[in-house]
Amino acid sequence: MAACRFRRSIAAQLSRVLEVPSENLVKSISAVPVSKKRQSGDFQFFVSSVLNANSNNYSRSDIQLQTERLAEKLKCDTVVKEISTGEGTVNFTIDRELLVKTVLQHVFEDGSQYGIRSELFSKLPKRKILVEFSSPNIAKKFHVGHLRSTIIGNFIANLNEAIGHQVTRINYLGDWGMQFGLLGAGFQWFGSEEKLKSNPLQHLFEVYVQVNKASAEDENIKKLAQDFFRKLEAREEQEVSLWQHFRDVSIEEYVQIYKRLGVCFDEYSGESFYQEKCQEVLKMLDRKGFLKKTEEGTGIVYLSEKGDPCTVMRSDGTSLYLTRDLAAAIDRMNKYNPDTMIYVTDKSQTPHFQQMFQILKLLGYEWMERCQHVPFGRVQGMKTRKGEVVFLEDVLDEACSMVLEKRASSKTTKEVDNTLETIERIGLAALIIQDFRGLLSSDYQFSWERVLQSRGDTGVFIQYTHARLHSLEEVCGTVSQVSHINTTFLQDPQAISLIQHLLRYDEVLYQSSQDLQPKHIVSYLLTLSHLAAAAHKMLPVKGSVPELAERQKKRDTERQHAGRNPHSDENYQLCMWLARICLFQAVRSVLANGMKLLGITPVNKM
Ligand code: ARG
């Protein structure tokens, strides 16, 4: 990674002056974010990081004094060409040509590993990480929360896998409970085998709604449902086989939808798996003296003297959501022994996970420290024109039909071969970018108008930028080696801004990997797209790579033969175009890498 080389070199110098081991300094040196204001330096070192103990004891002017003193002691060298000071920072400007060359070289050499093959990650121990996400409830609505869980969990899994961890993706289906009693009892009246085959999720949901209504009016149906569920819990063959059928056809359809989203799972688990193991959890709680009974016979556990108790057992002895989660956690730990176990759900479930982790602690499972709940906020107003969102496809279909309409009315739309695939990728990018822009725990108001804007900070804009850069490669061809490029031709402010931005990629990935917030990567990619658009406008390219290279070679030899400087005007142009092509190619590569981490498949045409 390009930035590492510079960080190390700056750290070595600082280390001599400060007499601090250079490893301790590296993490306080970061690439300066590109901003509209004129930028001073490519890297900055935060001086407060080396002031003794906590820097709270230092006033601003103290820090500034130390900063100036430190800067005076540092010298320029072959890498650092300029040293200046900012607010509490010493700023370093790297030799321009070395900067451009190193960044481009690393982007080309590292390919999809650019930013990841960085010392920020190579020092991290490789871990086993379990990510549980999506987890819809069969026969119930797939609400917006499930969509968020799906794309956020997928991102967390992608990122962790990319940086070298071993990741297992689990879908913990809501595949147990009274809804199956109702479905089982009511399918004979309201169900159709045919519809179940062609449209399982939709059909089960419809049947569920109908039986639910009927059971409210008819005590008999209610009793039948209860009977069915009781038999199911007792694992009676006929009931289990119908339940299994419902579950199987549902998963089949889920898999198809997840495919459209580019999401897959290593394991389809579910609440149903833990029916029996729950009894063991209850026994354990009882044995250790934590299980108390209310007068009605409900099983409860007190986490503190004053707090409310958690219910872990119904009066009829059956388990609850919480009990099943306890059993599932214990089972997963036994099976996978992960270093981290992540649960992705909306924030209304935060108390549930807190209780669950606390009970695990009571039971003496110290590994509860390795469990982590990643909560996210609510989305308001995600509706389709037909009405409320009931299934995941509704959102995806609506996104696609809106993209399609916009494209039909736009003059710039290009003919593409597999339009449908492209449309889906654009629609999904729009949803993902909108969702990942803010802090995950924040609520946000959804607006189709906003997510589908082709300019501005949207997924459509990012896809558009990628497609534009890709078509540039199609027209001009691609450069295969940076060593052929003369980087003196990439010193325009627009080119330098892009290079400086590419320099920061590893730090941005690192930040997201630490707090599991995709927003750092999203804003990075949006800036990259804006910088690319500005550069594309100011730095045009004319000609194709083979033709340019050929012409350049010919010019060089002709000029050399004639004893003239090869840097003629024409030659200058040729070299410049080649260098620009190389820069845009690097930008597209990093843009595509980042998009894939977020769960977006880049489109090549739109
Ligand atoms: N099926 C649940 C729901 O839709 C989400 C499951 C979350 N995961 C868990 N281990 N509790 O609310």
Confidence band of 345 (pLDDT split at 50, 70, 90): very high
Give the structural domain span for 518.
392-598
Dist. CA 51 → ligand 1 center (Å): 47
Do 87 and 178 sit in the same domain of this protein?
no
Answer yes or no: are the C-beta atoms of 359 and 321 closer than 8 Å.
Answer: no
In a domain, 459, yes or no: yes
User: In the chain, what percentage of residues exceed pLDDT 90?
Assistant: 67
Of 472, 478, 523, 473, give the one whose Cα is nearest residue 501.
Answer: 523
Do 370 and 512 sit in the same domain of this protein?
no
In a domain, 408, yes or no: yes
Do 496 and 562 sit in the same domain of this protein?
yes
Do 399 and 368 sit in the same domain of this protein?
no
Mutate to test the pocket of ligand 1, among 135, 138, 179, 247 (most ligand atoms within 8 A of CB): 135
Boundary of a domain, candidates 376, 403, 436: 376
Nearest C-alpha to atom 6 of ligand 1 is from which residue? 135
Dist. CA 35 → ligand 1 center (Å): 42
pLDDT digits (tens, 9 = 90+) for 525-543: 999 999 999 999 999 887 7
Nearest C-alpha to atom 11 of ligand 1 is from which residue? 325
Does the pLDDT at position 244 exceed 90?
yes
CATH number of the domain encompassing residue 560: 1.10.730.10
Does the pLDDT at position 557 exceed 80?
no
In a domain, 329, yes or no: no
Do 438 and 492 sit in the same domain of this protein?
yes
Do 210 and 64 sit in the same domain of this protein?
no
Q: At what angle do helices 569-598 and 459-476 cross, to 10 degrees?
A: 140
Answer yes or no: are the C-beta atoms of 148 and 379 closer than 8 Å.
Answer: yes
pTM of the model: 0.93
Q: Which atom of ligand 1 is found nearest the CA of 346?
A: 12
CA dist 260 and 432 (Å) reads 13
Do 138 and 263 sit in the same domain of this protein?
yes
DSSP string, 312-325: EE-TTS-B-HHHHH
Do 430 and 367 sit in the same domain of this protein?
no
Dist. CA 343 → ligand 1 center (Å): 9
Mean pLDDT confidence for 369-385? 90
In a domain, 305, yes or no: no
Q: Which atom of ligand 1 is found nearest the CA of 325?
A: 10
| C-alpha pair distances (Å), 155 with each of 89, 126, 259, 435 | 34, 18, 15, 12
Mean pLDDT confidence for 194-214? 91
pLDDT at 308: 87
Tokens representing 378 are 């609510």
Boundary of a domain, candidates 73, 94, 115: 94
CA dist 228 and 236 (Å) reads 9
Dist. CA 191 → ligand 1 center (Å): 26
Dist. CA 330 → ligand 1 center (Å): 16
Does the pLDDT at position 54 exceed 60?
no
Does the pLDDT at position 450 exceed 90?
no
Q: Which residues line ligand 1 (CB under 6 A)?
A: 132, 135, 137, 172, 174, 325, 343, 345
Boundary of a domain, candidates 44, 73, 94: 94
Q: Which atom of ligand 1 is found nearest the CA of 345?
A: 7
Amino acid, res. 53:
A
Q: How many domains does the chain have?
A: 3
CA dist 311 and 291 (Å) reads 10
> Exposed e or buried b for every residue in 264-278, given b needs 16+ CB within 10 A?
ebeebbbbbbbbebb
Do 22 and 73 sit in the same domain of this protein?
yes
Do 66 and 161 sit in the same domain of this protein?
no
pLDDT digits (tens, 9 = 90+) for 474-509: 998 888 888 888 889 999 999 999 999 999 999 999
In a domain, 164, yes or no: yes
In a domain, 294, yes or no: no
Dist. CA 170 → ligand 1 center (Å): 11
pLDDT at 485: 87
Q: Mean pLDDT across the chain, nearest whole number?
A: 90
Least confident piece of the model among 144-148, 358-362, 371-375: 144-148
The residues annotated as belonging to the active site are 140, 143, 146
Does the pLDDT at position 447 exceed 70?
yes
In a domain, 114, yes or no: no
Answer yes or no: are the C-beta atoms of 379 and 144 closer than 8 Å.
Answer: yes
In a domain, 67, yes or no: yes
Do 413 and 445 sit in the same domain of this protein?
yes
Nearest C-alpha to atom 5 of ligand 1 is from which residue? 135
Mutate to test the pocket of ligand 1, among 143, 176, 349 (most ligand atoms within 8 A of CB): 349
Which residue is listed with tokens 């190390």? 8
CA dist 260 and 537 (Å) reads 34
Nearest C-alpha to atom 10 of ligand 1 is from which residue? 325
Answer yes or no: are the C-beta atoms of 190 and 210 closer than 8 Å.
Answer: yes
